[in-house]
């Protein structure tokens, strides 16, 4: 299962994902770029926020991943909501959920 990690560096958690059967970690383009949520930023600057989200979703879709992982719940909620509205089939999963699923694999 292709998995796009929206984290800038390869860490032990990403290595644990790589060891999971059927998972193939990847990276999104411009992963360091904001998704456009940022709390009140999305409300006060809706047009800019939506454009940033569209860019982020395009980068996620370009990976061919079935799951997007990240370490920030607000980013996952924002990106996941956009992907869901577009019916892309791409799910989101917090890095902690991946680590919990690999319990015993991380050293």
Asked whether residue 16 carries a pLDDT value surpassing 90, the answer given is: no
Asked whether residue 38 carries a pLDDT value surpassing 90, the answer given is: no
Asked whether residue 9 carries a pLDDT value surpassing 60, the answer given is: no
The predicted-structure confidence for 64-89, as pLDDT tens digits, reads as follows 999 998 889 999 999 999 999 999 99
Asked whether residue 7 carries a pLDDT value surpassing 70, the answer given is: no
Q: Return the HEC string of the chain.
A: CEEEECCCCCCHHHHHHHHCCCCEEEECCCCCCCCCCCCHHHHHCHHHHHHHHHHHHHHHHHHCCCEEEECCHHHHHHHHHHHHHCCCCCEEEEHHHHHHHCCCCCC
Domains of the chain by residue range: 2-101
Asked whether residue 8 carries a pLDDT value surpassing 50, the answer given is: no
């Amino acid at each position: 299962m292709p998995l796009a990690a929206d984290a800038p560096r390869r860490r032990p958690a990403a290595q644990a994902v790589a060891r999971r059967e059927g998972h193939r970690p990847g990276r999104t383009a411009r992963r360091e770029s904001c998704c456009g949520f940022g709390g009140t930023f999305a409300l006060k600057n809706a047009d800019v926020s939506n454009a940033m989200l569209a860019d982020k979703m395009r980068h996620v879709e370009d990976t061919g991943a079935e799951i997007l992982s990240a370490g920030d719940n607000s980013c996952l909620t924002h990106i996941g909501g956009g992907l869901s509205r577009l019916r892309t089939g791409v799910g989101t999963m917090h890095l902690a959920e991946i680590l919990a699923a690999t319990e015993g694999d991380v050293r």
